[in-house]
Amino acid sequence: MILLILDYGSGNIKSVYNSIKQVLKDNNLNYKIIVSNNINNIKKSDYIILPGVGSFGNCMENLSNKPGLLDNLEEFVFIKKKPFLGICVGMQLIAEYGLENGKTNGLGWIEGRVKHLDIQGNLSKEKLKIPHMGWNNLKVNYKNKLFDKVNEQDQFYFLHSYFFEAKNIRNILASSYYGMSFPSVVCKENIIGVQFHPEKSGNSGQKVLINWLNNY
């Protein structure tokens, strides 16, 4: 099995790589990890992780600038229907569009938009700081194998100023709270997005990663 971490100039690649490597070792899984944006590597991959750090617009621009990359990602997701995981901004890019520094079209794989956390002023009233940086739990909305052995006491690391406002509540597997409730895990068939950083979430994050590998 080949797991590809997409290197497009906008991801926390090293942390994701090290975390996945540890998960595979701990669970005796002999997967090959590739860090690449090469089209041929995408074609032969069994899993793809899209990390993301920075602004929605810059990340989307970097994805779009590689000839053939988006077409091959869509073939991987929609034709081959193989497992895809977006992390942080990588999750947000799955949306139809983002509203950071103007409107920018996203991948459009799950209906919804990306908005600023403070859009309704709730955070200012509660004197919370932006970005949301730190540890939060997940409120599971729909049972899913992604949450096997995950409970409400498990803490996950977040670092973000924007959130994915999914149009269909059935796509929101779990939510978290920071002055307001926001989707922390979205899903549509073989597409998973997590707002938190599983690679920085210790044992809790590793549980989610192994569940993804085992069940998707």
Count of domains forming the chain: 1
Catalytic residue numbers?
88, 197, 199
Distance between CA 81 and CA 190 in Å, rounded? 6
Residue ranges in the chain whose pLDDT is less than 50: none
The residue type found at 55 is: S
In the prediction, which pLDDT does 120 show? 62
Backbone angles phi, psi at 84, to 5 degrees: -130, 135
In the prediction, which pLDDT does 52 show? 83
At 45, which CATH number? 3.40.50.880
In the prediction, which pLDDT does 61 show? 92
Residue 84's domain comprises: 2-215
Q: Could you report the per-residue pLDDT of 89-111, keeping only the tens digit for each?
A: 999 999 999 998 889 999 999 99
